[in-house]
Structure 1
């Protein structure tokens, strides 16, 4: 059983904006899952396809981290709004951007190398 939230109920517009952000992160994590599974299934970057498997694993792991991080971010933001505190800083967008850039660069390099 969860404890009841403390503080004041935030303006519903902020609550809905927080929820939209959470859903946007979930869409991004779904895209990472789809991209990772597609990389493993369809990329032919060498005889044993190890590069495609690595790219796929990285993207699926990024999707898992994004899913968990999005929920945690939603919780922390909701709690901060109830208390009237500042919203916490997150590194989730930086992690996502860096991961996607690295996987894209890896794919580009191995596509040119072939």
Structure 2
């Protein structure tokens, strides 16, 4: 900001275009749907996955998926909040590793589930 006459004053927070705000909200809601799917998959694995007498593989899969859901829920809110702040200040959107974490978790859990199913 400058105090010289004729120089534009920098506004600290501007309301972004509503389309960007709504797009950010849709992304947030998509992450919440993904976390709900992780919760449901984790609870279903514990309840219905039949891998013989040992229940520990199903419990591990369930714990990993429910934990991924919790991390996704928290990460989605943090990402939404950081994006809104960056848009209002006219800055760059922050980089997130949330999609990488989700993809890796689902791949590993799927591979473990496949191995135990083939092993049985």
Residue of structure 1 in register with 2:16 after alignment: 10
Moved over 2 A (4+): none
- TM-score, structure 2 as length reference: 0.89
Residue of structure 1 in register with 2:100 after alignment: 94
Among 48, 53, 62, the residue aligned to 2:68: 62
- TM-score, structure 1 as length reference: 0.94
Q: How many residues align?
A: 109
Q: CA–CA distance in 1 between the matches of 2:117 and 2:74?
A: 32
Q: Which runs of 5+ in 1 are unaligned?
A: 1-5
Post-superposition shift, 1:46? 2.9
Root mean square deviation, CA, Å: 0.7
2:114 equivalent to 1:108: yes
2:50 equivalent to 1:44: yes
Q: Which runs of 5+ in 2 are unaligned?
A: 1-11
Residue of structure 2 in register with 1:35 after alignment: 41
Q: CA–CA distance in 1 between the matches of 2:111 and 2:91?
A: 39
2:64 equivalent to 1:76: no
